[in-house]
Amino acid sequence: MPPFYDPRMRGFRDRTAVAAVLALLDNRIAALPSESLPSIHAAGRVLAEPVVAPVAVPGFDRAAMDGYALRAADIADASPHTPISLPILGESLPGRPFTGTVGPGEAVRIMTGAPVPAGADAVLPVERTRPDGDRAQILESIAVGRNIGRRGEDITPGNIVLSPGRRLRPQDVGLLASLGVVSVPVVRRPRVDILITGDELLPAGSAPKGYRIVDSNSVMLAALVERDGGIPHIEPILPDRRELIREALLDSAADVILLCGGSSVGQEDHAPGVIAELGELAVHGIALRPASPTGVGFLESRPVFLLPGNPVSCLCAYDLFAGRTVRRFGGRSVELPYPTVSLPLRSKLTSATGRLDYVRVLVRDGLVEPLAVTGASMLSTTTVADGFVLMPVERDEISPGEIVDVHLYDGII
């Protein structure tokens, strides 16, 4: 590791490319180990191992209609003009099968979902019959096998029904229940400690007072972590004191630490130096706007993200780097969890080459309108915006009419 360059009151010497930071994370972060969870609580979780069907579904031949179980050959000549009358031996209901056998020229009354009795090879819907006391008048013929759901036609035992990496859908956990699979191995959710530093900050829930502002980032970060499948834990706000930041880092047993504020080049920005002292400061300063004063470090193998305190930078740095890590730890896709649309630009976008720009935009009448703001301190710009465009490093201008990808804040995928 190169010696720590302390950028306080000097500025960054150089800035790491976003792509290099992403590559570093993808290299060093893998899904956490799995844990076993009751299937009824597993919706939304990521499956860690394949689920093999232990049984057939359905487990028996069952009726798909209400009607009569019979032998198709017996009613081959039936028609409304030449009905065939069959004696009804009994009935088969869901969960209460008819235990006898249907012989030639016989029928059993049967309801949807009930076991098809031995001897029968078709179920004739009730609409094609006429009641006739303890007999049924059959008005139509039917093909062998009709209206019988065969054993195993839904699921064959031994088949893989759900594969690893699958984020379990509501219908998946329903399927697991139908198979009698009561618990499943899922990727553990990463625990994420949120450490906020800043002498000026009042805890969320207070009203701003004088020169003190209310910490908004912990609230936003906790919601982002939840969204990405992590378990957020917000620690009490830390003052800008090196020893206290150091202690808080040493105390954390989380899988990921988000240390927000004090990550830049100001006099009171202690976080980078502390990480360099306790572990590895792999990145400090990124070619990104906003959020250039972002850092990535490791305490042993646990990632620590130094997030800028400016709320827009904090959101941007979380989404690009920390969120990627939370998602990957939890077995999810690393991609940004925003729906993306490709639309033409209404007015031109400019940026310095060599830097990735996070541009807040509106989408109006199918066109993308960049908001005329660049500041990172105004969180309301992200509540007004519909989404953001990541302006590529190699571009310094994008012209009106060019198609850009907009990541929409609304709608979680």
Contact residues for Mg ion, defined by CB under 5 A: 198, 261-262, 309
Q: What is the DSSP letter of 40?
A: G
Locate all alpha helices (DSSP H) within 206-253, ordered by sequence: 217-227, 242-251
> Which of ligand AMP, Mg ion, none does residue 264 bind (CB under 5 to 8 Å by kind)?
ligand AMP
Number of C-alpha atoms within 13 angstroms, CB side, residue 145?
A: 3
Amino acid (one-letter) located at 71: R
Residues in the chain, total: 413
| The two structure tokens encoding residue 390 | 């990541």
> Which of Mg ion, ligand AMP, none does residue 331 bind (CB under 5 to 8 Å by kind)?
none
- What is the number of the residue whose Cβ is closest to ligand AMP? 309
Say whether residue 285 binds ligand AMP (CB under 6 A). Answer: no
Segment interacting with ligand AMP, rule: CB under 6 A, options 17-25, 198-206, 272-280, 339-347? 198-206
Q: How far apart are CA 123 and CA 70, in angstroms?
A: 6
Considering the complex, state which of residue 158 and residue 203 has its C-beta at the smaller distance from ligand AMP.
Answer: 203
Show the binding pattern over residues 296-315: x = contacts ligand AMP (CB under 6 A), - = does not: ------------xxxx----
**Rounded to the nearest whole angstrom, what is the least distance from the CB of residue 271 to Mg ion in the complex?**
9
Considering the complex, state which of residue 185 and residue 309 has its C-beta at the smaller distance from Mg ion.
Answer: 309
Q: How far apart are CA 255 and CA 48, in angstroms?
A: 18
> Which of ligand AMP, Mg ion, none does residue 196 bind (CB under 5 to 8 Å by kind)?
ligand AMP
**Rounded to the nearest whole angstrom, what is the least distance from the CB of residue 19 to ligand AMP in the complex?**
24
Q: How far apart are CA 263 and CA 79, in angstroms?
A: 85
Say whether residue 198 binds ligand AMP (CB under 6 A). Answer: yes
| The two structure tokens encoding residue 413 | 């995928």
- Give the containing element (helix H, strand E) for 255: none
> Which of ligand AMP, Mg ion, none does residue 215 bind (CB under 5 to 8 Å by kind)?
ligand AMP
Say whether residue 273 binds ligand AMP (CB under 6 A). Answer: no
- Give the containing element (helix H, strand E) for 278: helix 271-278
Considering the complex, state which of residue 92 and residue 263 has its C-beta at the smaller distance from Mg ion.
Answer: 263
> Which of ligand AMP, Mg ion, none does residue 290 bind (CB under 5 to 8 Å by kind)?
none
- Number of residues engaging ligand AMP in binding (CB under 6 A): 19
**Rounded to the nearest whole angstrom, what is the least distance from the CB of residue 323 to ligand AMP in the complex?**
17
**Rounded to the nearest whole angstrom, what is the least distance from the CB of residue 268 to Mg ion in the complex?**
6
Amino acid (one-letter) located at 136: A
**Rounded to the nearest whole angstrom, what is the least distance from the CB of residue 288 to Mg ion in the complex?**
19
The set of long-range contacts for 383-390, using a CB threshold of 8 Å and a minimum separation of 24, is 384/360, 385/360, 385/361, 385/409, 386/361, 386/362, 386/410, 387/338, 387/360, 387/361, 387/363, 388/316, 388/358, 388/359, 388/360, 388/361, 389/349, 389/359, 389/361, 390/356, 390/357, 390/358, 390/359
Segment interacting with ligand AMP, rule: CB under 6 A, options 62-70, 257-265, 320-328, 383-391? 257-265
Considering only 232, 261, 323, 370, the residue that binds ligand AMP (CB under 6 A) is 261
> What would you report as the CA-atom Rg of the chain, rounded to the nearest whole angstrom?
32
**Rounded to the nearest whole angstrom, what is the least distance from the CB of residue 47 to Mg ion in the complex?**
41
Q: How far apart are CA 238 and CA 281, in angstroms?
A: 20
Amino acid (one-letter) located at 253: A
Among positions 217-236, residues that touch ligand AMP (CB under 6 A) are: 217
Considering only 55, 64, 126, 213, the residue that binds ligand AMP (CB under 6 A) is 213
Considering only 57, 78, 195, 260, the residue that binds ligand AMP (CB under 6 A) is 260
Q: At what angle do helices 242-251 and 271-278 cross, to 10 degrees?
A: 50
> Which of ligand AMP, Mg ion, none does residue 217 bind (CB under 5 to 8 Å by kind)?
ligand AMP
Considering the complex, state which of residue 108 and residue 288 has its C-beta at the smaller distance from ligand AMP.
Answer: 288
Q: Is the dihedral of CA 18, 19, 24, 25 positive or negative?
A: positive
Q: How far apart are CA 99 and CA 370, in angstroms?
A: 73
Considering the complex, state which of residue 151 and residue 242 has its C-beta at the smaller distance from Mg ion.
Answer: 242
**Rounded to the nearest whole angstrom, what is the least distance from the CB of residue 387 to ligand AMP in the complex?**
22
In the complex, the residues that contact ligand AMP under the rule CB under 6 A are: 196, 198, 200-201, 213, 215-217, 260-264, 266, 308-311, 377
